[in-house]
Structure 1
């Protein structure tokens, strides 16, 4: 009996997540109501409230699960050298590509999102802390450089997702790392 209940809970949560993601493709989370979410999921409101406080709690859980999954994925790579940093960036792009639909929805191209802030924190932790230390950059400007680089990278990744990943993760990784390490002058002109 307990196993059956767990499956029902899993199913309910899965349907609610899918329904919310579908609704968020149509409008921002602030415009989504619990009523329409429950109608889309074919779940009654009392069932919804046994799982989540509101639609914002549900989207936060979706974001947190994606971030945890992303961190597990990135933890498998060492990134002490520039070559390993390229690999880290490529792996991040591969992960985004594997979850492109969800990431596009949560990154919300038209504005800032909590998911974008969470991805930014992951990027700071995984990529920049090591690079800034390795390059022995003046600590009084590290925060500015990090902000410039990470936010630029996030915007490039969002654009890449919204351009239907018109370049491979490897090509994008090379482009991003060239911007970071060589700036505009390091790019070849066609």
Structure 2
């Protein structure tokens, strides 16, 4: 009986998340209503409120799951070696590819603008600090280097998603790593 409830709960949450993602493709979170989510999910509002406080709470839960997955992926790698850094970057790109629908929506103008900043902080905490330790940089400019590297990487991922993932995750990971490690000089 307990597993039946767990399956029902998982199904309900999955349908609500999918419904919110569909709505966010068309409009911003501030204009989405709980009623719209429930209608699309074919779930009554009392069921929705037994799981989430409102549409913002639902969006936050989706974002938290992605951040937790990214943290788990990033903590499993040793970034001090170039090949490990490339493997870690490739894992993140593969994760984005596997979750392309959600990532495209969350990175869009209809998603939560704070989400992109949170992704940047996670990536910075795990990767840039290790890249910076490999390349001694004055602490006064390390924050600028970190922002430049992470925001550039996120924009590459956004563009890749918009282009229908026209390159493999490995190619995108190599591009990000090469630009991070060598800058534009790698193109020559």
- For CA contacts below 8 A with separation 6 or more, give which structure has more relative contact order: 2
Task: Name structure 2 gaps, 5 residues minimum.
Answer: none
| Conserved 8 A contact 2:105-2:111 | no
Alignment-derived partner of residue 77 in structure 1 = 77
CA contact (8 A) 2:25 2:110 kept: no
Scaled by the length of structure 1, what TM-score is found? 0.91
Taking the TM superposition and a 5 Å limit, the aligned residue runs for 1:45-84 are 45-84=45-84
RMSD: 1.7
TM-score w.r.t. the length of structure 2 is: 0.92
Per mean C-alpha deviation after superposition, the further-off stretch among 28-37 and 114-123 is 114-123
Where structure 1 has 5 or more consecutive residues not aligned to the other structure, the ranges are: none
Q: Which residue of 1 aligns with 2:150?
A: 150
CA-to-partner distance for each residue in 1:165-184, whole Å, 9 max, x for gaps? 11111211221222222222
SS, match of residue 23 in structure 2 = helix
Secondary structure of the equivalent of 2:25?
A: helix
Q: Deviations over 1:31-55 (max 9, x none)?
A: 1111111111111111111111100
- Asked whether the equivalents of residues 124 and 146 of structure 1 are also in contact (C-alpha less than 8 Å), the reply is yes
CA contact (8 A) 2:107 2:116 kept: yes
Q: Which residue of 1 aligns with 2:32?
A: 32
Cα 1:36/1:115, change in 2 over 3 Å: same
Of 2-11 and 134-143, more deviation after overlay is shown by 2-11
| Aligned residue pairs, count | 188
CA contact (8 A) 1:109 1:158 kept: no
| CA deviation profile, 1:82-126 (whole Å, cap 9, x unmatched) | 232222211111111111111101111578722212211121012
